[in-house]
Amino acid sequence: MSRLLPQGCTRIKTLYQGAEAIVDLCEWLGREVVVKTRVSKGYRVRELDDLIRRSRTVREASLLSSAKKAGVNTPFVYHVNPVEGWIIMSYAGSRSLRSMQGSSIFASLIRMLGDAVGRLHSAGIVHGDLTFSNVLVSEGRLTLIDFGLGEFSNEVEKKAEDIYTFFSSLTALQDSETMMRLFLEGYRASARESAKRVEERLREIGSRGRYVEKELRRRLERKSRENVSPET
């Protein structure tokens, strides 16, 4: 494929090809780097598309660097080209938190993640897409990636939503309650006083979620009752 890469970059392999971005592992100035290219969306008006790509590229690079300053491990940003939608950053390995499920250190990684998210939130950064695949693991250390949906915000609701997103992916696990407890333990340790308000909001969001689920279930049950004809 002859997709354009920053000057001096040689593609080793494509790591990921998604709807918004393509991620290539490359060699650049003698080191292994990752080039994340935010792709154009053909269906958007050209000017609008350029504007969105540029602003998201700049925002992601800036959030990656600010998170690092806040003590959270993120890839080093080496170079940003908003016009082309490129971010050149350090390679953080190929293991995601998802692949660590079942490992003996999984529980401690979850606690570490809680601590990292607490640091982010204390620095006024919301990740926006906290999922297993956006947390990479290498030599027992976590690296947070993919700040494309992130923002600088101190809103309690946004912080609670951040955690809620992660908890939603935890619910599939058998010991999800323990994992949530460990996450919050880590979160409290770094977010300190603000943790309390965020946790309160998290519980509110949880009960809103349960209310919506209950309503949906009720409606579905009513619908299925209505669909049963009197003859049957």
Ligand X SMILES: Nc1ncnc2c1ncn2[C@@H]1O[C@H](COP(=O)(O)OP(=O)(O)OP(=O)(O)O)[C@@H](O)[C@H]1O
Q: Which spans of this chain sit near Mg ion (rule: CB under 5 A)?
A: 134, 146
Residue among 49, 129, 162, 175 flagged as catalytic: 129
**Binding of residue 15 to ligand X (CB under 6 A):** yes
- Min dist CB 34 to ligand X, Å, is 4
Closer by beta carbon to Mg ion, 57 or else 134? 134
| Phi-psi group of 187: left, alpha or beta (phi > 0 → left; psi -120 to 50 → alpha; rest → beta) | alpha
Closer by beta carbon to ligand X, 34 or else 120? 34
Distance CA 26, CA 231 (A): 67
Q: Which does 66 bind (CB under 5 to 8 A by kind): ligand X, Mg ion, none?
A: none
Please name which of 182, 180, 183 lies closest in space to residue 172, comparing C-alpha atoms: 180
- Min dist CB 134 to ligand X, Å, is 5
Binding residues for ligand X, rule CB under 6 A, total: 19
Q: Which does 160 bind (CB under 5 to 8 A by kind): Mg ion, ligand X, none?
A: none
Please name the amino acid found at residue 150.
G
162 is catalytic: no
Task: Map residues 37-76 to x or -, x wherever contact with ligand X holds by CB under 6 A.
Answer: --------------------------------------x-
Question: How is 110-158 classified by DSSP, letter by letter?
Answer: HHHHHHHHHHHHHTTEE-S---GGGEEEETTEEEE---TT-EE---HHH
**Binding of residue 164 to ligand X (CB under 6 A):** no
Distance CA 153, CA 166 (A): 18
What does each C-alpha distance from 2 to 5, 15, 19, 54 come to in angstroms?
9, 16, 18, 22
Give catalytic residues, as residue numbers: 129
